[in-house]
Amino acid sequence: MAFVGTAASYIQLSRFLREDLTQSVAAQQTALAAYVARDVDNYLDERLAFLERLAGAMPAGLLAQPGQLRAWLAERGALGGLFPLGLSVADTGGKRLDDAAQPAADGPEFAAALAGKRAIGRPHATPSGHSALPMAVPVRNSAGQVAAVLLGTADLTADGLLDHLQDGRVGQSGGILVISPRDRLFVASTDVSMSLTPTPREGVNLLHDRAMAGYRGSGTTRNAKGIDEISAIASVPTSGWFVVARLPVAEALAPVGRMQSFILQQRGPAVSAVLIVLGLVMAWLLRPLFRAADEADRMTRGELPLAPLKVVRDDEIGHLTQAFNRLLAKLLDNQEALQRIAHHDTLTGLPNRKLLDDRLQQALAHAGRQGHKVAVLYLDLDGFKGLNDTFGHEAGDKALQEIARRLQALVRQTDTVARIGGDEFVLLATGLNEPANEGAQVLAQRCIDAIAEPLPLDRSRTAIGVSIGIALGDGSETPRDLLAAADKAMYRAKQGGRGTHAMSAANAMPEMSGAASRP
C-alpha cells in the first residue's frame, strides 16, 4: 500500500506540475520573444528610416559627381553613426556611383529598392568576424521615379544587437534566435556558433518548420541537437524575420524533479523494506539476463568473439537470449554488405571518397618506392543540371549510372574510378611511366569521348559533356594536395570552354601554359 500510494502521488503531482509549468514557461517565452522582436524591429526600422531621410535629402546633382557624392555620404554616415560599415549609391544598373572600385550591387535588397521599396539583404560575416546586414532604399528624382539606390551596411555586432540577445536569455541554457525564413539563415543567436549558419532542413524540427511556413505562437519541440525545448515565435514585421525564445524542457521543469525527490525522501523509509525484498527476488530472477548482458557487452568491446549466448531456461529471459542469438546471426550475415556500403557509392556502386583516399594513399606510397607516376583525373559533368531539370532526378540517376559504367570500361583493373559528389568523379591511374603527362591526357580525352556519346533516357537520347583536371604525383604529395591540384585544373578546363581537359599548373608542359589542351 505504501508503494502504491507513493507511486500514485508521484505520478499525479508530476503530471500536474509539468502541465502547469509548461504553460507558465510558454507564456514567459512568448512575452520574451515579442519583446526581442519589437527591439529588433525598432533597430531595423530606425536604420531604414535614416536611409530614407538621407535619400530624400540627397541633391540630384551629386549622382553625376562621384567625388562629391562620396564626401557627402561620408559626412552623413559619420554624423548618423548607424552604418559603420559604409554607405554607397548605385545606379539602376547596379554600378556604384560613389566608388567605381566596389563590386556592382546585385543583392535582393537592391532589386527590391529598384521596385520602389525599402529592403533588407542577406546577413553575412565581415573579414573581422562581425555580422553585417545590408539595407537599401530607392532614390527618386523630381518626377518620383527611381533614379538610384542608396545602400547601407549595418554592423549587428558593433551595434550591440547580439549582446542584447545574451542579456535577454532566460535560465542557464535558454536562448534566443533571430531567423530569416527568406534566406533560411540564423541571423543571430545567443549561441554564437549558430549565428549566420543555415537553418535545419525540413523534418528535423517540426515547430521550426511551422514557423518557416508562417506559424506564430508557442509549443514544445525537439531541436536539431535532439534536445526537447519550449519555444515561442514572434514576427519582426520590417524584415520578415521571426524571433524564437527557447528554453530546454529539462531546465523549465526542474521543479518537477525537486518535487519528485521530496516525495521519494519522505516516503523512502516506509517502502525501503519492500524494495529490498523485491530487489533480492528480481536479482535471482534476472541473474541469467545480467550474465547474458555482461557477455554481450564484452563482445562489443572485443574482449570476447561474437558467438551465440547460452540459453539457460525456457522463459521470457530465454526467449530474449534466443532473439539476441538470431540478431547476432543476421548481423554476421550482413557484415560484408555493411562494409561495402561504408566504402562505395550507393547509386553507382563506385568507390566513395573514403575508399578513394585509401587507394590514393597506397598508390602514392608505391609510386615513391618504384619511381612511377600517379595520375588523378578530376571529372565534373557539363550540362548535368540541365539534364536533371529537363528529364527529372530519376533520369539523372540513370545518366550517372551509365557514365560510371563507361568510365569503368576505360580503365585497367589496377586503376580506380570513384564518385565523390553529385556529378563529380575521380579517376586514379597508377604505375604510369614517362612521359606520364601524355598518357594522362590520352586517358582524359578517352573519358571526354566516352561521356560525349548520347545517353539513352526514356525514349529519347541526349548528350552531356565533361571538364577534366589532371594532376600527376610521384609519391611526394599528399592525397589532399593532389586532389586539390586536379580540382583547380578542372575549373581551368571549364573556363577554357568546357568539354576539355587541363593539366595542373605544376605538371603542365611549357608549351601548354596551363591551358586546356587535346592530345
- 57-110 per-position pLDDT tens digit: 898 888 888 888 888 888 888 777 888 888 999 988 888 888 766 787 888 999
* 19: nearest Cα among 246, 230, 266, 263: 230
What integer is the mean pLDDT of 155-174? 71
- Cell numbers at 246, concatenated: 527557447
Q: Return the half-sphere exposure (C-beta side, CA atoms, 13 A cut-off) of residue 133.
A: 28
Q: How much is the mean pLDDT over the chain?
A: 84
Q: What is the model's pLDDT at position 516?
A: 36
Q: What is the model's pLDDT at position 465?
A: 92
pLDDT digit string (tens) for 374-402?
999 999 999 888 888 888 888 889 999 99
426, 378 Cβ separation under 8 angstroms: yes
How far apart, in whole angstroms, are the C-alpha atoms of residue 225 and residue 394? 32
Q: What is the model's pLDDT at position 314?
A: 75
| Strand, helix or coil for residue 115 | coil
Q: What is the model's pLDDT at position 443?
A: 92
* 489: nearest Cα among 505, 511, 512, 465: 505
Alpha helices, H only, 213-253: 249-252
Q: How far apart are the first and last CA of the chain?
A: 92
59, 75 Cβ separation under 8 angstroms: no
CA angle 107, 111, 116 (to 5 degrees): 140
Q: What is the model's pLDDT at position 167?
A: 64
What residues have CB less than 8 Å from 236, skipping those under 6 apart? 37, 40, 41, 44, 178, 242, 243
**Any idea which residue has 537470449 for its cell?**
321
- Cell numbers at 240, concatenated: 520578415
CA angle 81, 83, 87 (to 5 degrees): 115
380, 466 Cβ separation under 8 angstroms: yes
Q: What is the model's pLDDT at position 60?
A: 82
458, 437 Cβ separation under 8 angstroms: no
Q: What is the model's pLDDT at position 518?
A: 32
328-364 in b/e form (b: 16+ CB < 10 A) is: beeeeeeeeeeeeeeebbeebebbbbebbbebbeebb
% of the chain beyond a pLDDT of 70? 93
% of the chain beyond a pLDDT of 90? 32
Other residues' Cβ atoms within 10 Å of the Cβ of residue 193:
8
Q: What is the model's pLDDT at position 100?
A: 62
What integer is the mean pLDDT of 148-160? 86
Integer Rg of the chain from CA: 33
Q: What is the model's pLDDT at position 445?
A: 93
How far apart, in whole angstroms, are the C-alpha atoms of residue 415 and residue 413? 5
How far apart, in whole angstroms, are the C-alpha atoms of residue 355 and residue 418? 8
* 111: nearest Cα among 139, 96, 92, 125: 92
* 308: nearest Cα among 282, 329, 289, 294: 329
CA angle 473, 469, 363 (to 5 degrees): 30
In the 8-state DSSP scheme, what is residue 421?
S
* 82: nearest Cα among 169, 160, 18, 178: 160
The answer to whether the peptide bond before residue 108 is cis (omega within 30 degrees of 0) is: no
| Strand, helix or coil for residue 136 | strand
* 490: nearest Cα among 359, 381, 355: 381
- Cell numbers at 319, concatenated: 526467449
459, 446 Cβ separation under 8 angstroms: no
Task: Quote the pTM value.
Answer: 0.49
* 519: nearest Cα among 430, 434, 440, 428: 440
How far apart, in whole angstroms, are the C-alpha atoms of residue 168 and residue 263? 34
- Cell numbers at 313, concatenated: 531456461
Between 424 and 12, whose confidence is greater? 424
How far apart, in whole angstroms, are the C-alpha atoms of residue 118 and residue 112? 7
242, 37 Cβ separation under 8 angstroms: yes
83, 154 Cβ separation under 8 angstroms: yes
Q: Where are any strands of DSSP class E within 192-319?
A: 218-222, 228-236, 241-248
Other residues' Cβ atoms within 10 Å of the Cβ of residue 198:
10
How far apart, in whole angstroms, are the C-alpha atoms of residue 60 and residue 188? 37
pLDDT at 483 over 90: yes
pLDDT at 220 over 70: yes
Checking phi first, is residue 328 left (phi over 0); if not, alpha (psi -120 to 50) or beta? alpha
| Strand, helix or coil for residue 240 | coil
Q: What is the model's pLDDT at position 41?
A: 92
CA angle 374, 353, 224 (to 5 degrees): 155
